[in-house]
Amino acid sequence: MKIGFDNEKYLTMQSEHIRERIGQFGNKLYLEFGGKLFDDFHASRVLPGFEPDSKLRMLMQLSEQAEIVIVISAGDIEKNKIRGDLGITYDTDVLRLIDSFEEKGLYVGSVVITQYAGQSSADLFKSRLQKLGFKVYTHYAIEGYPSNIPLIVSDNGYGKNEYIETERPLVVITAPGPGSGKMATCLSQLYHEHKRGIPAGYAKFETFPIWNIPLKHPVNLAYEAATADLNDINMIDPFHLEAYGKVTVNYNRDVEIFPVLSAIFERIYGESPYKSPTDMGVNMAGNCIVDDEACCEASRQEIVRRYFQALNELAAGTKSDSEALKIELIMKQAHVAVTDRPVVPAALKRAALTGATAAALELPDGKIITGKTSDLLGPCSALLLNALKTLAGTSDERHVISPEAIEPIQRLKTEYLGSHNPRLHTDEVLIALSISAAADPDAQKALEQLPKLNGCQAHATSMLSTVDIKQFKRLGIQMTAEPVYENKRLYH
């Protein structure tokens, strides 16, 4: 992978910029943290060199100044809203976030339950957190939010919310997912701090879109593809252009809400500290791109991956065609096609030759490896094994897993566990390989190549099983698949 982003420069520049913003507001800043604080794999894919935990590491540099407040909507608790990437409910994710932050030495000050309207499940969650020793605050739904500004900025609006007691200059407001009420929590605190005579400010940390690169830059287009389900649209910030005569990029929701935010700031402070949505941001990622073409190419590949993902979800019946159609338009703007992903034509060619589902993977040196369907292995399992053998320098004819080792696993699956598919999934192949490695040096050498697969691109000619999807994610393989099922059954 060609590096296009200077991660160390980013950590230094970003933390320094946040310190400056804290000082700008009298040593108290409420920082709304958009996106993922850690495990930001989208950023690491489109900005090669960006580490998935970069934002967390940046905060760790500010650990003496920072405390974290996690917000969750009472409505999301009530309906058991689930994080799609993790498969856990938002309230469970709050506990996971607390553990993750504290393991890194970051201080979690409290949890805020927002948009509360008497939900019993929210009461139970609050009680559970309090028994665990955490401070929990309640914020209420405000009628006419966000347009009824006289009510919002009053004792019957923000004034009804419980005041969050904070201890440190930087208060990071984060959440399990979008729509949790991060911005409203920040603004409510500004109202309460102002009433107490405490100077405090607000800023927003959102990595994408990157404000100081072109509107149709592939990195920004990749963000549009990633948020196609939310219908976010990148646009020129008209307020920034009017105030400063400079072209910057923001997205539609921030631009649309800015007049309301500006009016709220004026009602709290007497005047708004910001002239544009771009002014509110503190993101320095655009200043740390060191190879623009590397980031462009990585982003174009990400757009294609998002397109295949949307097509797969459409075929599975979990999404409408609007998302795929939008990404198709983005692909045209980025001047990229599915065939620009080298593993796609390679997998299709192999499938045409064998008459069955096949898969292809691009190794770090650019070499394409393929795998076919057989009686023993599925195409993804064969692909994984072939890639490891190639990296280990083992010949194709050499069996690093003997058929005798595979047969008992197949018998266990079909005779005892009730599976109709005797072929081994990727996780089962790795278990068989690790067992073989105890007695076979070639198998051990193949197993040792696993870390080299991180960041590799792969494609299959039919949709993958849940097991294979999870396994490729764990290995760091960026996998796509044709939007068709391997067989014509109605239930998959």
The Cα 150–Cα 263 span in angstroms is 10
272: in domain: no
Place of tokens 């190419």: 297
Strand, helix or coil at 145? Answer: coil
User: Residue 393 maps to which CATH number?
Assistant: 3.40.140.40
423 class by beta-carbon count within 10 Å (0-12 exposed, 13-18 middle, 19+ buried): buried
Sequence-distant contacts of 118-126: CB under 8 A, at least 24 apart: 119/74, 119/75, 119/77, 119/78, 121/74, 121/77, 121/78, 122/74, 122/77, 122/78, 125/72, 125/77, 125/91
* Angle at the Cα of 114 from the Cα atoms of 111 and 120, rounded to 5 degrees: 90
Q: How many domains does the chain have?
A: 2
The Cα 12–Cα 9 span in angstroms is 5
Helix (H) or strand (E) holding 251: strand 249-251
Half-sphere exposure of 149 (CA within 13 A, CB side): 12
Expressed as residue numbers, the domain containing 423 is 341-481
Percent residues over pLDDT 70 in the chain: 98
| The residue count for the chain | 492
Q: Is the predicted pLDDT of residue 492 greater than 60, yes or no?
A: no
* pTM of full prediction above 0.85: yes
Helix (H) or strand (E) holding 360: strand 358-362
Q: Which of 474, 457, 222, 486 is nearest to 344 (CA)?
A: 457
User: Residue 159 maps to which CATH number?
Assistant: 3.10.630.10
| CA 184 to the chain's CA centroid | 22
Strand order in the sheet with 358-362: 368-372, 358-362, 457-460, 478-481
pLDDT higher at 4 or 436:
4
Q: Which of 469, 463, 471 is nearest to 489 (CA)?
A: 463
Per-residue pLDDT tens digits for 402-437 = 777 778 888 888 888 877 777 888 998 999 999 889
Buried b (16+ CB within 10 A) or exposed e, 55-65: bbbbbbbbeeb
The Cα 469–Cα 463 span in angstroms is 9
Any idea which of 119-128, 302-311, 434-443 has the lowest mean pLDDT? Answer: 434-443
**Banded pLDDT at 489 (limits 50, 70, 90):** low
Among candidate residues 177, 205, 233, the one where a domain is terminated? 205
How far apart, in Å, are the Cα atoms of 191 and each of 153, 185, 231? 7, 10, 31
**Mean pLDDT, the chain, integer:** 93
The Cα 148–Cα 13 span in angstroms is 38
81: in domain: yes
65: in domain: yes
Among candidate residues 189, 205, 221, the one where a domain is terminated? 205
Per-residue pLDDT tens digits for 212-263 = 999 999 999 999 999 998 888 999 999 999 999 999 999 999 999 999 999 9
How many helices (H) and strands (E) would you count in the chain? 20, 14
The Cα 85–Cα 468 span in angstroms is 15
pLDDT at 409: 82
79: in domain: yes
Note whether 77 and 125 are within 8 A (CB).
yes
Among candidate residues 205, 226, 257, the one where a domain is terminated? 205
220: in domain: no
The Cα 371–Cα 462 span in angstroms is 13
90: in domain: yes
Note whether 295 and 5 are within 8 A (CB).
yes
Residue 89 phi, psi (nearest 5):
-70, 160
Place of tokens 């990727």: 426
**Banded pLDDT at 24 (limits 50, 70, 90):** very high
Name, in order, each residue with C-beta under 8 angstroms of 6's C-beta and a sequence gap of 6 or more: 49, 288, 289, 290
258: in domain: no
Note whether 366 and 352 are within 8 A (CB).
no
452: in domain: yes
The Cα 432–Cα 422 span in angstroms is 14
